[in-house]
Amino acid sequence: MKELMITKFEQRDAHVAVIGLGYVGLPLAVQFAQAGYRVTGIDLDQRKVEAINRGESYIGDISSETLAAVTGQRAASSHATSNGSTASAGTPTAAITQAAAPTTQTQAGILRATADYSVLAECDAVSICVPTPLNKTGDPDISYIYSATEQIAQYLHRGMAIVLESTTYPGTTTEVVLPRLLENDRALQIGKDFFLAFSPERVDPGRTDWLTHNTPKVIGGVTPECLAVAIAYYSAAIETLVPVSSPNAAEMVKLFENTFRSVNIGLANEMLLMCDKLGLDAWEVIDAAATKPFGFMRFTPGPGLGGHCIPIDPHYLSWKLRTLAYNARFIELASEINTEMPRYWVQQVQDALNDAGRAVKGSRILVLGVAYKKNVNDMRESPALDIIHLLEEKGGHVYYHDPHVPSFQHEGMEMVSVTDLHVALSMVDCVVVATDHDVYDWDEIRHKAALVVDTRHVI
Ligand code: SAJ
């Protein structure tokens, strides 16, 4: 069965499914279709399904033109994505670069979307790209992985490859997904009749240099046969695959990558707190340290930690270790410092207004940028929201401007961006730079605002 599957994938003679058509799943589905597979995207959101089948993309990284080319709404463009075997610079030695592209230009496959899981009965492979948030108590919520696995189990058949991509704690693939798949049909054997692997996503929305096809991808199979089949499946769309010894190792790699960022961002934020005590400019110190040509990596203080990855993923790791009676101290400490930053910046606003003889109470304050990082419209876990909430708690009249976020509703907070920034700048008592979108004219802001508290050190 293993050889049969590998041949199917190598000949692009496979029908594959992607469950979860968000910023990870849709680009992956498109990449598989461009590589020549027949692809069925599965999502519970009927609006997403219909938009895809109309060739209309709702994901910034995928243009509707690209989508329409693989959903058959438009003749495939002349340049199909190359499947060249360009190994990325510094490719890990263990990496497997894909064999040279097939001699014949692969005919782009066809992508269609559906909300009906029964298509899995005829699929040779399925990738799970569903969200893995934290629940209200801050613990991992893998309910979406459960429900996707439940559906796959119903349609599991001989000769099926399953790859979990959602970021999760080490052990999920082998202790949660595998047992559920085995429950339905004891006759099916892992590594013989069906193949299971974990391969973490490394999609950074908005990036144009590292994309789904050229970002090295780590992959770990439950058995060596699972790894071989999963590598054949993914080699069609991903240029560099990095095999590791198990799904658990692959799960841990992703958590380490993002914990690395969370901890270093926490250290940069603590540098700010320490430099404050020392009367030093943290950015000056960090920028000077960054001139070290080796052994240093620059992170900068900010308003706090936003996004759907970095504030969340490390808690999957610390939660798992707590079940093993181990306290992941760096993760907890970084989280403590990062979540404290909005309060620090509100104190800076209070002190600055106080120096100008004003209280926060009754002052008009304009927050620039509510997205969690520059040039995106994503607000998940955005620290700007905490800054707004804390300023309002102190009686401030808070407005915001964000060219990427015309309005938002968040936990009872409902706001609309001011439309005329030029007017607003001179009408408020204090401007807070929360997100340093490239569109802002920082010189104008510096000259028009009476007072600026700059969490991004752009002014
Ligand atoms: N931040 C700082 N200081 C820094 C860097 C970031 O305060 O030095 C803040 C950002 O403003 C943001 C949060 O931390 O609020 C997270 O920033 P991020 O640059 O890590 O951006 P993300 O959340 O989009 O992270 C994604 C991740 N991609 C994946 O998980 C696949 C991350 O692994 C990438 O390294 C990161 O993009 C990237 O490099 O852009």
Ligand 1 pocket test, pick from 23, 257, 265, 377 with the greatest ligand atom count within 8 Å of Cβ, gives 265
Nearest CA to ligand 1 atom 8: 299
From the list 123, 226, 309, 430, the catalytic residue is 309
Ligand 1 centroid, distance to 70 Cα (angstroms): 31
Q: In this predicted structure, what is the pLDDT of residue 106?
A: 53
- Min mean pLDDT across 1-15, 56-70, 90-104, 400-414 is at 90-104
Q: In what order do the strands lie in the sheet with 452-454?
A: 397-401, 364-368, 430-433, 452-454
Model confidence at 75, in pLDDT bands (50, 70, 90)? low
Ligand 1 neighbours, Cβ below 6 Å, are 201-204, 257-258, 261, 265, 268, 299-300, 302, 305-307, 309-310, 372-373
Nearest CA to ligand 1 atom 36: 204
Is 309 a catalytic site residue? Answer: yes
Model confidence at 100, in pLDDT bands (50, 70, 90)? very low
Q: In this predicted structure, what is the pLDDT of residue 97?
A: 62
Region 172-190 average pLDDT: 94
Q: Which residue has the higher pLDDT, 429 or 205?
A: 429
361-374 pLDDT tens trace: 999 999 999 999 99
Ligand 1 centroid, distance to 63 Cα (angstroms): 23
Q: In this predicted structure, what is the pLDDT of residue 162?
A: 98
Region 130-150 average pLDDT: 96
- pLDDT > 60? residue 103: no
Nearest CA to ligand 1 atom 26: 204
Ligand 1 centroid, distance to 120 Cα (angstroms): 35
312-342 pLDDT tens trace: 999 999 999 999 999 999 999 999 999 999 9
- pLDDT > 80? residue 83: no
> Can you tell me which atom of ligand 1 is nearest the CA of 304?
7
> Structure pTM?
0.91
- pLDDT > 80? residue 387: yes
Ligand 1 centroid, distance to 310 Cα (angstroms): 6
* Mean confidence (pLDDT) of the chain: 93
Ligand 1 centroid, distance to 354 Cα (angstroms): 33
- pLDDT > 90? residue 352: yes
- pLDDT > 70? residue 37: yes
- Angle at which helix 64-71 crosses helix 25-34, to 10 degrees, equals 50
Nearest CA to ligand 1 atom 11: 373
Q: In this predicted structure, what is the pLDDT of residue 411?
A: 85
Strand-pair partners of 163 = 127, 197
- State the Cα–Cα distance between residues 342 and 435, nearest whole angstrom: 13
- pLDDT > 50? residue 86: no
Q: In this predicted structure, what is the pLDDT of residue 186?
A: 83
Model confidence at 184, in pLDDT bands (50, 70, 90)? confident
Q: Which residue has the higher pLDDT, 206 or 446?
A: 446
Region 254-272 average pLDDT: 98
- pLDDT > 80? residue 375: yes
| CA distances, 27 to each of 64, 355, 371 (Å) | 12, 51, 22
> Can you tell me which atom of ligand 1 is nearest the CA of 201?
31
- pLDDT > 60? residue 212: yes
Q: In this predicted structure, what is the pLDDT of residue 102?
A: 45
Residue showing tokens 């990036």 = 207
Nearest CA to ligand 1 atom 21: 307
Of 407, 405, 403, residue with least CA distance to 420? 403
- Min mean pLDDT across 62-76, 147-161, 333-347 is at 62-76
> Can you tell me which atom of ligand 1 is nearest the CA of 303?
7
**Residue positions counted in the chain:** 459
- Cα dihedral: 343, 348, 350, 355 (round 10): 170
Q: In this predicted structure, what is the pLDDT of residue 73?
A: 79
| CA distances, 209 to each of 61, 213, 307, 337 (Å) | 11, 11, 20, 31
- State the Cα–Cα distance between residues 413 and 434, nearest whole angstrom: 17
Region 190-214 average pLDDT: 95
Q: In this predicted structure, what is the pLDDT of residue 82?
A: 39
400-411 pLDDT tens trace: 999 999 999 988
Of 268, 267, 340, residue with least CA distance to 300? 268
Q: In this predicted structure, what is the pLDDT of residue 412?
A: 86
3-state helix, strand, coil in the chain (%, to 5): 40, 15, 45
Ligand 1 centroid, distance to 61 Cα (angstroms): 17
Q: Which residue has the higher pLDDT, 356 or 97?
A: 356
Q: Which residue has the higher pLDDT, 190 or 84?
A: 190
Q: In this predicted structure, what is the pLDDT of residue 99?
A: 47
- pLDDT > 70? residue 440: yes
- Min mean pLDDT across 71-85, 115-129, 168-182, 351-365 is at 71-85
Region 49-62 average pLDDT: 94
Model confidence at 107, in pLDDT bands (50, 70, 90)? low
Region 63-89 average pLDDT: 64
Ligand 1 pocket test, pick from 218, 261, 308, 435 with the greatest ligand atom count within 8 Å of Cβ, gives 261
- pLDDT > 80? residue 91: no
- Angle at which helix 329-355 crosses helix 247-278, to 10 degrees, equals 30
> Can you tell me which atom of ligand 1 is nearest the CA of 203?
31
Model confidence at 109, in pLDDT bands (50, 70, 90)? confident
